[in-house]
Every structure is written in structure tokens, then in C-alpha cells.
Amino acid sequence: EIVLTQSPGTLSLSPGERATLSCRASQSVDNSVAWYQHKPGQAPRLLISGASSRITDIPDRFSGSGSGTDFTLTISRLEPEDFAVYYCQQYRNTPRTFGQGTKVEIK
């Protein structure tokens, strides 16, 4: 099973600041990584697939990068609605696996 490790566990930032979230895989997953935003009581929302392809209707302040084992989700300027938990997921192999999540909270 491929283990995804996200860091940091919690990111405390102010609106307007830049957020950089990391996801490291225990073995290469090529570019088969997706990023999701998850708010309490809601369904997770797909932001990025293929490590760097932004999904339709996702604001361009969200960007993804990386390949192999190291991936990054960047939110260029945090808006109030961006404070949430973010998960990376690999779909190179089964079982599909998720990182443990990074919580982006208001400082």
C-alpha cells in the first residue's frame, strides 16, 4: 500500500496569505495525485487531478505541482472560504490512499 504523508498537519494563516501544502508518497505515483478540499458537513471537493490540472470552475488561486513522490498544493492568496481541510490522494495503485490531511485555519 502506498502511504501518503501530508505536512504540516495544521497551517495557521491570515486571509490574503499564501498557503503551501506538501504531500509525499512512499513510492512513485507518477502524476496520479488528486487534491480535495473538505469542509465539515460537506462532501469533499475535487480541486486538482493529474497533480497539476485544475478542475473546471476551481479558482486559479489553487495550483498543484510535483511528480513521482513529492507534490505541492499552493493557494496563492487565501480567501475566507478556503479555510478547510485538504487531502491528497493517489490513484496510481489500488488500494487508493489518502494523506491524513492538512487543516488550514485562520490565524
Partner 1 sequence: QVQLQESGPGLVKPSETLSLTCAVSGGSLSGNHWTWIRQPPGKGLEWVGYIYYTGTADYNPSLNGRVSISLDMSRNEFSLHVTSMAAADTAVYYCAIGSGRLQFWGQGILVTVSS
Provide, rounded to whole angstroms, the least separation between the CB of residue 22 and partner 1.
16
By CB under 8 A, the residues from 26 to 55 that bind partner 1 are 32, 34, 36, 38, 42-44, 46, 49-50, 55
CB 46, CB 87: distance < 8 Å: no
Q: How far are the Cα atoms of 19, 42, 96, 98 from residue 85, in angstroms, in the given order?
A: 12, 11, 19, 12
Distance CA 25, CA 70 (A): 7
Per-residue burial over 81-98, b = 16 or more CB atoms within 10 Å of its CB, e = otherwise: ebbbbbbbbbeeeeeebe
User: Nearest distance from residue 7's CB to partner 1, in Å?
Assistant: 14
Nearest to partner 1 of 1, 60 (CB atom): 1
* In the complex, least distance from residue 49 CB atom to partner 1, rounded to whole angstroms: 4
C-alpha cell at 23: 504531500
State yes or no: residue 101 binds partner 1 (CB under 8 A).
yes
CB of 38 to partner 1, least distance (A): 8
Contact residues: partner 1, CB under 8 A: 1, 32, 34, 36, 38, 42-44, 46, 49-50, 55, 87, 89, 91, 94-101
